[in-house]
Structure 1
Amino acid sequence: MCGIVACRMDESAGPFLIDALKLLEYRGYDSAGVAIRTVDGTTASSRTTQRVETLERQLDGWVGPALSGTGIGHTRWATHGAVTETNAHPHTDCLDRVSIVHNGIIENADALRLRLQTTGHVFASEVDSEVVSHLIEDELIVTGDLRTAVTSATAQLDGSWAIVALDAQTGRMVAAAHRSPLLVARSGRGVFAASDINAIAEWVDEFQAMSDGDVVELADEFSWTRSGAHSAPPSFVASTWSGATHGLAGHADYMGKEIEEQPETAARIIDRLAPSIADGSLWASLSVPAFERVAVLGCGTSLNAGRVIASAFGALGDVPNSSLIASEASTAIVEPRTLVIALSQSGETADVLRAIDDLDLGTSSLVALTNSDHSTLARRADSMLNCHAGPEIGVAATKTFVAQVITGVAMALSALAATRRIDRDYARRQVDDLRRIPDLLAHAIAASQKAIPPLIDEIRDAQGFLFLGRGSGVVYAAEGALKLKELTYRWAEHYPAGELKHGPLALVEAGTPVVVIDSGDRRIESNIAEVEARGGRVIRIGGAGSTVPALGLSLGTPMPGGIDRWGPLESVVPLQILARDLALALGRDVDKPRNLAKSVTVE
């Protein structure tokens, strides 16, 4: 979940590292730091538990030896050790010669720490990462070569790592990766490393993601070691950074901006995919074998999006389908000829990557649905489909959920048409419904921005919320409960509305907010009556006459869209706005919720 940046350039490293770390803030972090080599061969370090701007002020006030163009930076999301400046990265060895930044988890850190302490090493922090700097210190004494020392040190590690080590004495930098994302890049300005291409894309011409076991020296000519043996560098990929702004563009926060971007995002994706859906060419482009059933694999919001997609396969083509929670999938049995769709916004979600390592796919195939062509998930899958959501800075997913659903449903339609489970005329009619989604989302934004703000004072003090749905609405209730938990830090649970009387009704008392996704199932009325009879505050998201008339059913000419096949996708808009507005009223940071990260790269 942490972020790494590193550079070796002619100009000062400080401003670059700060700018790159700011571009990594969206991933979530609770501390940050930099280490920059000075011109006299020492290291200038700065760490903070505040925002990156604090580091910027500290560097601006630096009065020591001049800073060079070589340095490393890090944003940390705590896994081992409390959130303190001492535990923040970078970490150093006993001599303050080697500084390291590390993402991942060193599983044998306790044993390594004990061994190192018995030989005289003194540790300054509680974190597992610090053992790496001391291991490199020992190996550097033996070999005198940083790349060899890093190779030997990482050979002693169990777990996952993306590491960049800086030797202040020589100015050399070496990167190493295993089961944690890291890429190296270059341009006329210098050489770079980062855990996310977005952090450095503006400054680089080409890049290459590191594979497990790679060790690379960041020099004018990359020196590449793969699985312990010297190797020629792999071919680099051109950086296609478009200069897209990460600014707020007049919005109060990124989440609000990204909610409002959803109609445009949906229209762009549909325009790109629609011509290749009904004729089956989108499916054919994936080059995966025929399938008899579908399973989706994911976590959090991506799992919810996957459940929508799996249900679409069933509703459209009667394909048996299931969903797998990635963190619990290690013992799952995948039946032969299953199309496994793994969803991850970043493509670096550790639980998803571990799951695909553990699953026996046999005659089944794996398709990645992600927002990153060059992610680990994309590289490991048999094929991948980019969701093209565009940058999403807010940690709580909004437009990426919409992008995943639309892309996955488009794939489902194309697959079903290509395998003749549905005819092409039927597929074209479904594409017409897809084309309505941008308008449905725009309508939902307008209706929600009018109806939700007056509700906030009424529910502000509520400590718990229930979210209910029927049929295709259940998964959207799940996504709504997740958003509310993420942003407000209030308890929220979702249930199929029919389950209310089988236990959850005990939670309903006078004033309890119960959010109902009313997607047109008549049975929902009896469930609403059960809540109202006990004094619960029903917030109905549905058609005309609802508390929030945000669904297409509320239009002058009702537009159900794909409710019977992929559910009321536009319902996510009022759910997102409800969570955001309540969070703001409670004084929360909606872009950076506590304890959460955008790219979850630890198990």
Structure 2
Amino acid sequence: MCGIVGYAGHRDALPRLASGLSNLEYRGYDSAGVALREGDDVTVYKTVGEVSELRASLPESSEATVGIGHTRWSTHGEPTDTNAHPHTDCTGDVAVVHNGIIDNYDALKEDLEATGHTFASQTDTEVVPHLVEDELADGASAKEAFAAVVERLEGSFALAMVVGDSEEIFLARQDSPLCVGHGDDETFVGSDVTAFLEYAREVTYLENGDVAVVTPDGVTVEHDGEPVERGVEQIEWEADAAEKGGYDHYMLKEIHEQPQALRQTLSGRVDEMQGTVDLDLELPEEYLRSLEEIQIVACGTSYHAGLYAAKLLEEHADVRVTVHVASEYEFKGGRDPWRTLVVAVTQSGETAETLGALRDAARTGARTLAVTNTVGSSVTRTADETLYIRAGPEIGVAATKTFVSQVATLALFAVHVGRQRDALSATEASEILGDVRGLPGAVQQALDADAGVRAVAEEYADSEAFFFIGRRLGHPVALEGALKLKEISYDHAEGFPAGELKHGPLALVTDQTPVLAVLTEGARPDATLNSVKEAESRGAPVIGCHSAGHGEKFIDAAFDIPDLGEMEPLVANVYMQLFAYHVANLKGRAIDKPRNLAKSVTVE
């Protein structure tokens, strides 16, 4: 995700900001920049590309003792110098950096343009300095102006601002992390402690709704306009661990980022009361009504997300859906290309086989849609339309948070298509959207049970093989669970429909082959339970991810899942990710960079 740094002190701010940006490179980014308060002026340096390229454009030193910096991962607007942060107002006296998404930026921007403001970028962030400019023009202090603007923002954000005539940094947090480091007569700002760990080991974490002012002497915080005290904590871990936010591996960090990734995926898109979604797609209602088939093409984890989505689309949008491994895809003759939508699902947007399949489909005249995590990637330039999952960058090779975000995004798409085709009532859509909106909290519940998952992993880590089973929506989750385990632990793992257990794989089942079963709503738990009993009768231990009333007494180890309808199997997937992680960690595997694998497969 994007990274924020800040410095207020009595020393040269520039090297400290540059160091902080370098420390945040692990988060993933496509551009970087800094804003320095020099005298009563604000000077901005920013560029697309790596922090090293920004460093090359910076002066060797500066008289500035206050400044902010940012590494940007694009969400609104492609990676360009202009879209890079910081962003300024019309006067250039206000500079802002921002993590997150401002949901109501369109309306705010329209109002600002109507009163004469000129915008340079495509970002949602740029509305903030212009709004502050107006407040300052009306006589507000910088602090008053900033607080008033924050009140008008909707969405998720971590904001840092500097103003030419102030020696302070102004901060606000809502659903995006932000912290303050306390040094010796100097104060630091970071989206996480990595940004300043080499300079400060005492940290204050801001909470949702906080508005703060940073000076060299420390930080003052207000919440709902009233002063509040936020404690100071001591950072215990070393710098190399802090680069992963205190986690041992990026993969574990990204597993724990899933609630926030889901919030970003859903932000500004769901109207649960009306049973509608806004995906910013130009797919006419007439076209969606005419659809005879949706073809999903993908590889690996994205293929499993496609399998999950296919079942939702067929049931709720009343359209035939086929899912294809991209390397095996052929657009078959005899179908009307105009009545076929080809959906390419790819986290990186650069997967070679998926791009090839998409180009083949486009040559037939079929309309194409990309579902991806990466702004400006090749798939976005190839497809007719793009739907972003907005999960934030993923560093670990094994996909985790992108899988759940892909499925959540495609679930919204299924509701949208179903409503357009009159296959789904507003009441039915509201129920589905309610379940999707409940995902962040349910996933957090699974994450909170991590100690129990680790204990189960310790018990079964030395098993000969692992089998993952599920039905309906549990089937793609079983496939994904097995993929995660084999990717990072190098153990033999298979996933298949639960009913197939007795058609061959049962010959492999012993007391040394644990069976991990999805026993939730949306996964035909009662039928799956028959397969569980077959495995147990051969001595196999059973690890069950179950919702209330589904087979607890037949399970050797149970992971509880809250009531969430068709989204329950996705929560089971989180338990399987944690299980795979702990098994691999116990074996000492290179979890973030498993052998022979790459994050983005750009060759066929």
TM superposition score normalised by structure 2: 0.59
Q: Which amino acid aligns with 1:523?
A: A
Task: Note the C-alpha offset of 1:547.
Answer: 4.8
Task: Note the C-alpha offset of 1:597.
Answer: 1.0
For 1:281 and 1:509, locate their aligned partners in 2 and report how far apart those are by CA, in whole Å: 47
2:461 is the alignment partner of 1:460 = yes
Aligned partner of residue 523 in structure 1, secondary structure: helix
Paired residues for 1:84-95 under 5 Å: none
1:216-269 CA distances to partner (integer Å, 9 max, x unpaired)? Answer: xxxxxxxxxxxxxxxxxxxx9878999866832222211111111112221232
2:319 aligned residue: 319
1:523-550 CA distances to partner (integer Å, 9 max, x unpaired)? Answer: 2222112111111121112135355544
Task: Note the C-alpha offset of 1:325.
Answer: 0.4
2:531 is the alignment partner of 1:530 = no
Going from structure 1 to structure 2, the CA distance change for 1:197 and 1:436 (only over 3 Å counts) comes to closer
Task: Note the C-alpha offset of 1:285.
Answer: 3.0
For 1:190 and 1:277, locate their aligned partners in 2 and report how far apart those are by CA, in whole Å: 50
Going from structure 1 to structure 2, the CA distance change for 1:285 and 1:375 (only over 3 Å counts) comes to same
1:125-164 CA distances to partner (integer Å, 9 max, x unpaired)? Answer: xxxxxxxxxxxxxxxxxxxxxxxxxxxxxxxxxxxxxxxx
Q: Which amino acid aligns with 2:335?
A: E
- Among residues 244, 267, 278, which one is paired with 1:248 in the alignment? 244
Aligned partner of residue 272 in structure 1, secondary structure: coil
Going from structure 1 to structure 2, the CA distance change for 1:461 and 1:401 (only over 3 Å counts) comes to same
Aligned partner of residue 297 in structure 2, secondary structure: strand
Going from structure 1 to structure 2, the CA distance change for 1:594 and 1:186 (only over 3 Å counts) comes to closer
For 2:425 and 2:412, locate their aligned partners in 1 and report how far apart those are by CA, in whole Å: 15
Going from structure 1 to structure 2, the CA distance change for 1:593 and 1:333 (only over 3 Å counts) comes to farther
For 1:262 and 1:204, locate their aligned partners in 2 and report how far apart those are by CA, in whole Å: 28
Paired residues for 1:521-560 under 5 Å: 521-543=525-547, 545=552, 546-547=555-556, 549-552=558-561, 555=562, 559=563
For 1:279 and 1:461, locate their aligned partners in 2 and report how far apart those are by CA, in whole Å: 48
Q: Which amino acid aligns with 1:399?
A: K
Going from structure 1 to structure 2, the CA distance change for 1:276 and 1:338 (only over 3 Å counts) comes to farther
Task: Note the C-alpha offset of 1:345.
Answer: 0.6
Paired residues for 1:494-505 under 5 Å: 494-505=495-506
1:94 aligned residue: none
2:408 is the alignment partner of 1:442 = no
1:243-302 CA distances to partner (integer Å, 9 max, x unpaired)? Answer: 866832222211111111112221232232113995656256333532222221100001
Aligned partner of residue 542 in structure 2, secondary structure: strand
1:571 aligned residue: 572
- Among residues 244, 256, 261, which one is paired with 2:257 in the alignment? 261
For 2:452 and 2:542, locate their aligned partners in 1 and report how far apart those are by CA, in whole Å: 14
Contact 1:402 1:569 (C-alpha < 8 Å) held by counterparts: yes
For 2:26 and 2:123, locate their aligned partners in 1 and report how far apart those are by CA, in whole Å: 16
2:282 is the alignment partner of 1:286 = yes
For 1:321 and 1:354, locate their aligned partners in 2 and report how far apart those are by CA, in whole Å: 20
Aligned partner of residue 359 in structure 1, secondary structure: helix
1:411 aligned residue: 413
For 1:517 and 1:376, locate their aligned partners in 2 and report how far apart those are by CA, in whole Å: 36
- Measured on the aligned residues, the alpha-carbon RMSD in Å equals 3.7
Contact 2:404 2:570 (C-alpha < 8 Å) held by counterparts: yes
The percentage of aligned residue pairs carrying the same residue is: 35
1:90 aligned residue: none
Contact 1:440 1:551 (C-alpha < 8 Å) held by counterparts: no
1:582 aligned residue: 583
Going from structure 1 to structure 2, the CA distance change for 1:254 and 1:284 (only over 3 Å counts) comes to closer
Contact 1:276 1:414 (C-alpha < 8 Å) held by counterparts: no
Paired residues for 1:51-70 under 5 Å: none
Aligned partner of residue 486 in structure 2, secondary structure: helix
Q: Which amino acid aligns with 1:311?
A: K
1:562 aligned residue: 565
Contact 2:543 2:558 (C-alpha < 8 Å) held by counterparts: no
For 1:198 and 1:285, locate their aligned partners in 2 and report how far apart those are by CA, in whole Å: 22
- Among residues 81, 101, 109, which one is paired with 1:205 in the alignment? 81
Going from structure 1 to structure 2, the CA distance change for 1:187 and 1:455 (only over 3 Å counts) comes to closer
For 1:205 and 1:301, locate their aligned partners in 2 and report how far apart those are by CA, in whole Å: 33
Task: Note the C-alpha offset of 1:518.
Answer: 1.2
Aligned partner of residue 294 in structure 2, secondary structure: strand
Q: Which amino acid aligns with 1:562?
A: G
Going from structure 1 to structure 2, the CA distance change for 1:425 and 1:532 (only over 3 Å counts) comes to closer
Q: Which amino acid aligns with 1:263?
A: P
For 1:536 and 1:373, locate their aligned partners in 2 and report how far apart those are by CA, in whole Å: 45
Q: Which amino acid aligns with 1:294?
A: I
For 2:356 and 2:53, locate their aligned partners in 1 and report how far apart those are by CA, in whole Å: 30
- Structure 1 residue runs without a partner (length 5+): 1-10, 27-181, 209-235
For 1:362 and 1:351, locate their aligned partners in 2 and report how far apart those are by CA, in whole Å: 17
1:274 aligned residue: 270
Aligned partner of residue 522 in structure 1, secondary structure: helix
For 1:338 and 1:431, locate their aligned partners in 2 and report how far apart those are by CA, in whole Å: 26
Task: Note the C-alpha offset of 1:418.
Answer: 2.1
For 1:383 and 1:244, locate their aligned partners in 2 and report how far apart those are by CA, in whole Å: 32
Contact 2:317 2:419 (C-alpha < 8 Å) held by counterparts: no
Going from structure 1 to structure 2, the CA distance change for 1:506 and 1:25 (only over 3 Å counts) comes to farther
Contact 2:317 2:421 (C-alpha < 8 Å) held by counterparts: no
For 1:377 and 1:317, locate their aligned partners in 2 and report how far apart those are by CA, in whole Å: 25
For 2:378 and 2:72, locate their aligned partners in 1 and report how far apart those are by CA, in whole Å: 13
For 2:249 and 2:492, locate their aligned partners in 1 and report how far apart those are by CA, in whole Å: 24
For 1:506 and 1:572, locate their aligned partners in 2 and report how far apart those are by CA, in whole Å: 26
Paired residues for 1:334-483 under 5 Å: 335-336=335-336, 337-359=339-361, 362-447=364-449, 449-483=450-484
When structure 1 is superposed on structure 2, of 391-400 and 451-460 the one drifting more is 451-460
2:115 aligned residue: none
Contact 1:186 1:206 (C-alpha < 8 Å) held by counterparts: no
Q: Which amino acid aligns with 1:543?
A: S
Aligned partner of residue 323 in structure 2, secondary structure: strand
For 2:279 and 2:325, locate their aligned partners in 1 and report how far apart those are by CA, in whole Å: 25
Contact 1:278 1:417 (C-alpha < 8 Å) held by counterparts: no
Aligned partner of residue 565 in structure 2, secondary structure: coil
Q: Which amino acid aligns with 2:416?
A: S
For 2:358 and 2:581, locate their aligned partners in 1 and report how far apart those are by CA, in whole Å: 34
Task: Note the C-alpha offset of 1:186.
Answer: 8.3
For 2:342 and 2:459, locate their aligned partners in 1 and report how far apart those are by CA, in whole Å: 44
2:487 is the alignment partner of 1:491 = no
Going from structure 1 to structure 2, the CA distance change for 1:454 and 1:284 (only over 3 Å counts) comes to closer
Contact 1:350 1:600 (C-alpha < 8 Å) held by counterparts: yes
1:543-597 CA distances to partner (integer Å, 9 max, x unpaired)? Answer: 3535554443xx5xxx1x232xx56110111110010000000001211111111
For 2:558 and 2:332, locate their aligned partners in 1 and report how far apart those are by CA, in whole Å: 41
For 1:590 and 1:257, locate their aligned partners in 2 and report how far apart those are by CA, in whole Å: 12
Q: Which amino acid aligns with 1:271?
A: S
Task: Note the C-alpha offset of 1:205.
Answer: 2.1
1:466-498 CA distances to partner (integer Å, 9 max, x unpaired)? Answer: 111122211100000000010100111111111
Q: How many residues are paired up?
A: 394
Q: Which amino acid aligns with 2:498?
A: A
For 2:499 and 2:577, locate their aligned partners in 1 and report how far apart those are by CA, in whole Å: 24
Contact 2:272 2:434 (C-alpha < 8 Å) held by counterparts: no
Q: Which amino acid aligns with 2:477?
A: Y
For 1:19 and 1:329, locate their aligned partners in 2 and report how far apart those are by CA, in whole Å: 41
Q: Which amino acid aligns with 2:586?
A: A
Task: Note the C-alpha offset of 1:348.
Answer: 0.5
Going from structure 1 to structure 2, the CA distance change for 1:502 and 1:252 (only over 3 Å counts) comes to same
